Amino acid sequence: MAEHDGTRLNVSTAKCVTCARALQGAEITVAVCAADASQVAPQAAQLAGVARVLAVENPANAHALAAVLAPQIVALAEPFAVVLGPSTTYGKDLMARIAGLLGAPQISDIMAIESPTRFRRPVYAGNAILTVESLGAARVVGTVRMASFEAAAGGGAAPIEKVQLSVELPQHTRFIAVSAASTDRPDLQTASRVISGGRALGSAEGFKILYSLADKLGAAVGASRAAVDAGYAPNEMQVGQTGKIIAPELYVAVGISGAIQHLTGIKDARTIVAINKDGEAPIFEVADFGLVGDLFQIIPEIEKLVS
Amino acid sequence: MKRILVGIKRVVDFNVRIRIKPDGSGVVTDGVKMSVNPFDEIALEEALRIKERGGADEVIVATVGPADCQQQLRSALAMGADRALHVQAEGVIEPLVVARALLKLIEREQPFLVILGKQAIDDDNGQTGQVLAALWNRPQATYASKVELTGAKARVTREVDAGLETLEVDLPAVLTTDLRLNEPRYVKLPDIMKAKKKPLDTLTLAALGVEPRQQLKLVRFEPPPQRQKGVRVKDAAELVEQLKKKGLL
């Protein structure tokens, strides 16, 4: 299931393709549901390993509403053994509805595919890894954990087929609006560098020193749950078990104590830096580099040093 | 009678550092503090607030699971739910089975709203609400951070990756809760006493006509790979130097 905004394919789709390629000999189809798929379908067709793209065009698909998309995917699902979507809010909302309609089991947050019936996934906020095996279901549905897979490369040229479906779509769910702070910073989920702030930043104003450093480094900015709850940062910046799970090359945790729910979201980062005034904070247990001190002094110093 | 149905799950308390059984068959729960899944507490709180504003007459709380779950149902009654339904079931109970059982309860109770947590913090599946909405053929509004009811509709603000999305859904509908929808109330001692007298009905999957089919075998639980503990640096200059050395800056 492709994720997109009508013009651009989300990188989550390329990660799902990589996950699917772990299935030996699998023929991978990407379904693009859109009002007009002419921009997005060619992007999906370029992903290495994709055998074909199905463009499902319908004015009702202008916004990704799970209740509207799910019956269309169910109508297409018959020949497929595995139906995958990204473990983003889009995919988590949609795939379980598809699983429900199919009566199929869903494997959430797939981190590895060992065989077409055997998968690994995190449970208990990532404090345990569970291997599950499908017990003979005709098909399984899955969401793909974004931090576990690289994006598939480009260079492919899969054929695009337009599909006309005669499925009755529900009218009971209507899109009203989406609001997001517009930002020129890189996307949190794909950025190679991320700087996150916690409650110790003290205010939305306090976060400005992180934005300033992030802009110097070309980094995205994240936040702990505590900082989001306190209103210092918007919800889409939350990193952790119930926020975004990320795997940047460099993660800098500033004034974040490191609750297990937060650590879940950053475990796969290549290098973790912790800056905190409390030397006993659990974040130091997972940090590659730890610096104990006053963040309001340290962050501007770092900014000066990298300028 | 305008009813809200709230689904809850008994889980290992969120403060407990879990231990995996030596044979990898699961997680140690003997002698471990168990609680209502935090997202489900938020679901119940929302239902109670809707009722207190006059938007509902009755809040029913339900769970599917073994006998011990009655403790969590009593907690929910103490929080303010009017009555509880316990669907007894043993072993691994998958989201599809829970959703089928909840659908049977919906058919009996005819709620105008069903609220569940967006995920349970034990298996982290995050499926039951969507599966239920699919089986019921009704709208779903997941990851809710604001809910406004007007007549036969709900306007729900959702926490999505892009920011905040607003949907309008016709009722009845299924909502799942995100963290910032509300802050659940504390339970007072007299409420715990009162909860003992509130009705708690016990049913079984068999009586509801739901087969406890298991489609996924839990093969093995393992600890995650541990990160190596790193080094302390003395100041910003040393940190920048180290990161440059690793090619990260």
Domain contains A182: no
Whether residue A183 is predicted with pLDDT greater than 80 in this model: the reply is no
CA distance A247 to A147: 5
| Interface with chain A: mutation pick from B32, B165, B238, highest number of A CBs within 10 Å | B165
Do A99 and A209 lie in one domain? The reply is no
Does the beta-carbon distance from A99 to B12 stay under 8 Å?
no
CB contact under 8 A, A128 and B222: yes
Beta pairing partners, A120: A112, A131
Per-residue confidence (pLDDT) for residue A156, from 0 to 100: 95
In this prediction, residue B229 carries a pLDDT of 82
**DSSP conformation class of B69:** G
Grade residue A280 by pLDDT with cuts at 50, 70 and 90: very high
Q: For residue A12, what pLDDT is reported?
A: 96
In terms of domains, do A108 and A216 share one?
no
Residues of A in contact with B20 (CB under 8 A): 128
Looking at the fold, whether A145 and A212 belong to one and the same domain comes out as no
- Strand pairing report for A250-254 and A271-276: parallel
Could you say which of A111, A142, A163 is where a domain stops?
A163
Number of A–B residue contacts, CB under 8 Å: 248
Q: Do A156 and A28 sit in the same domain of this protein?
A: yes
Residue burial A49-78, b: 16+ Cβ < 10 Å; e: rest? bbeebbbbbbeebebbbbbbbbbbbbebbe
Examine the domain organization and report whether A120 and A225 are in the same domain.
no
Residues A33 and A148 grouped into a single domain: yes
CA distance A155 to A178: 33
Residue A124 one-letter amino acid = Y
The answer to whether position A188 is within a domain reads: no
**CATH number assigned to the domain comprising residue A86:** 3.40.50.620
Query: Could you tell me if A28 and A21 are in contact, meaning their C-beta atoms sit under 8 angstroms apart?
Result: yes
Indicate the residue of A179, A234, A301 with minimum beta-carbon distance to B236.
Answer: A301
In this complex, do A236 and B235 lie within 8 Å of one another by their Cβ atoms? no
Look up tokens 């981190």; give the residue.
A111
Q: Is B237 on the interface with A (CB under 8 A)?
A: yes
Q: Domain check: are A124 and A17 in the same one?
A: yes
Is A150 inside a domain boundary? yes
Local confidence band at A242 (pLDDT 50, 70, 90 cut-offs): confident
Domain range for residue A46?
A: 11-163
| ipTM for the predicted complex | 0.96
User: Is-contact A128 B18, C-beta < 8 A?
Assistant: yes
Asked if the structure places residue A173 within a domain, the reply is no
In this prediction, residue A197 has a pLDDT band, given cuts at 50, 70 and 90, of very high
| Domain count within chain A | 2
Is the pLDDT reported for residue A93 higher than 80? yes
Q: What is the pLDDT of residue B226?
A: 86
Q: Name the region of B91 (left: φ>0; alpha: ψ -120 to 50; beta: rest).
A: left
Q: Is the peptide bond before A71 cis (omega within 30 degrees of 0)?
A: no
CA B183, distance to chain mean position in Å, is 14
A110 and A33 within one domain: yes
pLDDT greater than 80 at residue A181: no
Query: B38, B30, B32: which is closest to B14 by C-alpha?
Result: B38
* Mean of per-residue pLDDT scores for chain A: 95
Contacts of B175 in chain A (CB under 8 A): none
> Of the spans A96-100, A123-127, B13-17, which averages the highest pLDDT?
A96-100
Show Cβ contacts of residue A138 under 8 Å, excluding neighbours closer than 6 positions.
A81, A104
Report the 3 state secondary structure along chain A: CCCECCCCECHHHHHHHHHHHCCCCCCEEEEEEECCCCCHHHHHHCCCCEEEEEEEECHHHHCCCHHHHHHHHHHHCCCCCEEEEECCHHHHHHHHHHHHHHCCCEEEEECEEEECCEEEEEEHHHCEEEEEEECCCCCEEEEECHHHCCCCCCCCCCCEEEECCCCCCCCCEEEEEEECCCCCCCCCCCCCEEEEECHHHCCCCCCHHHHHHHHHHCCEEEECHHHHHCCCCCHHHEECCCCECCCCCEEEEECCCCCHHHHCCCCCCCEEEEEECCCCCCHHHHCCEEEECCHHHHHHHHHHHHC
What is the predicted pLDDT for the residue at B8?
Answer: 98
Q: Judge whether A270 lies within some domain.
A: yes
* Start-to-end C-alpha separation, chain B: 63
Query: Nearest CA of chain A to the CA of B189: how many Å?
Result: 28
Whether A36 and A145 map to the same domain: the answer is yes
Residue A190's pLDDT band, with cuts at 50, 70 and 90, is confident
CATH number of the structural domain spanning residue A298? 3.40.50.1220
Does residue A99 belong to any structural domain of this protein?
yes
Mind giving me the DSSP string for B98-154? Answer: HHHHHHHHHHHH--SEEEEES--TTT----HHHHHHHHHT--EEEEEEEEEEETTEE
Rounded Cα–Cα distance for residues B218 and A110 (Å): 14
Statement to judge: residues A212 and A87 lie in one domain: no
One domain, residues A207 and A140: no
B54-71 pLDDT tens trace: 999 999 999 999 999 999
**Per-residue pLDDT at B228:** 83
Distance of CA B104 to the CA centre of its chain: 19
Which domains are present in chain B?
A: 3-245 (3.40.50.620)
pLDDT value of position B56: 98
Task: Give A276's contacts (C-beta < 8 A, 6+ positions apart).
Answer: A200, A253, A254, A255, A256, A257, A283, A284, A290, A291, A292, A295
Subunit contact B160:A242, Cβ cutoff 8 A: no
pLDDT (tens digit per residue) in A32-91: 999 999 999 999 999 999 999 999 999 999 999 999 999 999 999 999 999 999 999 999
Q: Inter-chain contact B130–A137, Cβ cutoff 8 Å? A: no
Residues A159, A208, single domain; the answer is no
Calculate mean pLDDT across residues A82-109. Answer: 98
Residue percentage of chain A with pLDDT more than 90: 92
Q: Would you say residue A6 lies in a domain?
A: no
**Which A residues in the span 241-260 are in contact with B, Cβ-Cβ below 8 Å?**
241-242, 244, 249-250, 260
Residue A5 inside a domain? The answer is: no
Residue ranges, chain B, pLDDT below 50: none
Q: Which helix (H) or strand (E) holds B61?
A: strand B58-65
